[in-house]
Amino acid sequence: MDTLALEATQPKKAQNGAVAAAPGPPTPAKRKPAKKTKKAVVFFEVEILDAKTKDKLCFLDKVGKILPSFSLHGKSLKDEDVLQHLPVGTTATFYFRDLGAQISWVTVFLTEYAGPLLIYLMFYFRVPFIYAPKYDFTTSKHWVVHLACMCHSFHYVKRLLETLFVHRFSHGTMPLRNIFKNCTYYWGFAAWMAYYINHPLYTPPTYGEQQIRLALTVFLFCQIGNFSIHIALRNLRPPGSKTRKIPYPTKNPFTWIFLLVSCPNYTYELGSWLGFTLMTQCLPVAFFTLVGFIQMTVWAKGKHRSYLKEFRDYPTLRSPILPFIL
């Protein structure tokens, strides 16, 4: 039962329980962090109660600086909160919430992105049992199909590398059931799209080379844009920290879109998939783009709202995802 989050190091997810903390010698609530050279040390007595039955689960009679990762008065505490600095009197009641089985964000991202990469390639190489046997291991005669495979694979390789080296995650974990939901979505759609693009009866785009060139330009432009935004967001946050700042345009022209949009990474992502739809002229791809756009709009609106709530001086010209429109 390593779940009692009372070590000063890394708090883990806690069991259902309530903590009633009573500091030993009464101390005034200090806003400044205690300096290491201070002689007077505050100890707390911590009583852990079950949130539902109020049974005493455990009593700790000498707790130093503790970092609870559970809620106080209804609002969730952050991992970095220190008991000493919380607005509580000599007693406080903390409630634990069991977040259920968790899985790390990195694991989820890697799994959900590796799937489409491999699945698409299976269809591209026409692995047996997908198409009629006479087509097994053949290659498409249309050059756009090869191009599409390169673009699709590039996109997911980029995502995997970003997950490993670029992104700085606010939360360590998410609920376990998310991995099933997310993987079904990504893998399912990847299979559906790949089936038609790599099909022996695939029809190339109506406007031929012109259409494909334009689509490729849009796709690449947006891939670079998306990457630029990810780098810009990463640079907002020093390594290991969880600071939150307003993103601003940098010297990179691809980030100038920050003037108009709160979540340009989603804008560029939409652009990439629109490019891919145009390139393949495939209705399932259009459908995937639409569903993704709806989800990203929901996220962008949420992010935009929390920016507005957190920063009083947030630029008013910005829209969540589409300049001036959405």
Chain residues in the site for other proteins (CB under 8 A): 196-197, 199, 201-203, 206, 280-284
* Nearer residue to other proteins within complex by CB, 90 or 203: 203
Return the number of the residue (207 or 311) whose C-beta is nearest other proteins. Answer: 207
Amino acid at 306: S
Q: How far is the CB of 196 from other proteins (least distance, A)?
A: 5
Neighbours of 235 (CB within 10 A): 12
Beta carbons within 8 Å of 130's beta carbon, 6+ residues apart: 122, 123, 195
CB of 320 to other proteins, least distance (A): 23
Question: What are phi and psi for residue 56, nearest 5 degrees?
Answer: -80, 115
Taking residue 201's Cβ as centre, other Cβ atoms within 10 Å add up to: 7
Separation of alpha carbons 236 and 246, rounded Å: 8
Q: How far is the CB of 280 from other proteins (least distance, A)?
A: 7
Three-state secondary-structure class, residue 175: strand
d(CA 326, CA 304): 11
Judged by beta carbon, residue 249 or residue 284, the one nearer other proteins is 284
277 residue type, one letter: T
Beta carbon of residue 28, minimum distance to other proteins (angstroms, whole number): 44
The nearer residue to other proteins, 185 or 221, going by C-beta atoms, is 185
If one counts every other C-beta atom within 10 angstroms of the C-beta of residue 255, the result is 19
> Tokens in use for 249?
């345009």
**Strands of 31-170, DSSP E:** 44-49, 56-63, 71-72, 75-76, 92-95, 102-104
**Minimum distance from residue 193 beta carbon to other proteins (Å):** 9
Q: Quick one: 14 or 197, whose CB is closer to other proteins?
A: 197
Judging by beta carbons within 10 Å of its beta carbon (0-12, 13-18, 19+), is residue 160 exposed, middle or buried?
A: middle
- Rounded distance, CA 120 to CA 198, Å? 9
Residue in this structure with the two tokens 């957190």, named with its chain if needed: 310
Of 19 and 193, nearer to other proteins (C-beta) is 193
Residue closer to other proteins by CB (options 77, 197) is 197
Nearer of residues 198 and 262 to other proteins, judged by Cβ: 198
SS3 48: strand
- 273: closest CA among 294, 257, 259? 294
Query: Closest approach of Cβ 286 to other proteins, in Å?
Result: 8
- Shortest separation between residue 290's beta carbon and other proteins, angstroms: 14
Q: Least CB distance from residue 192 to other proteins, whole Å?
A: 9
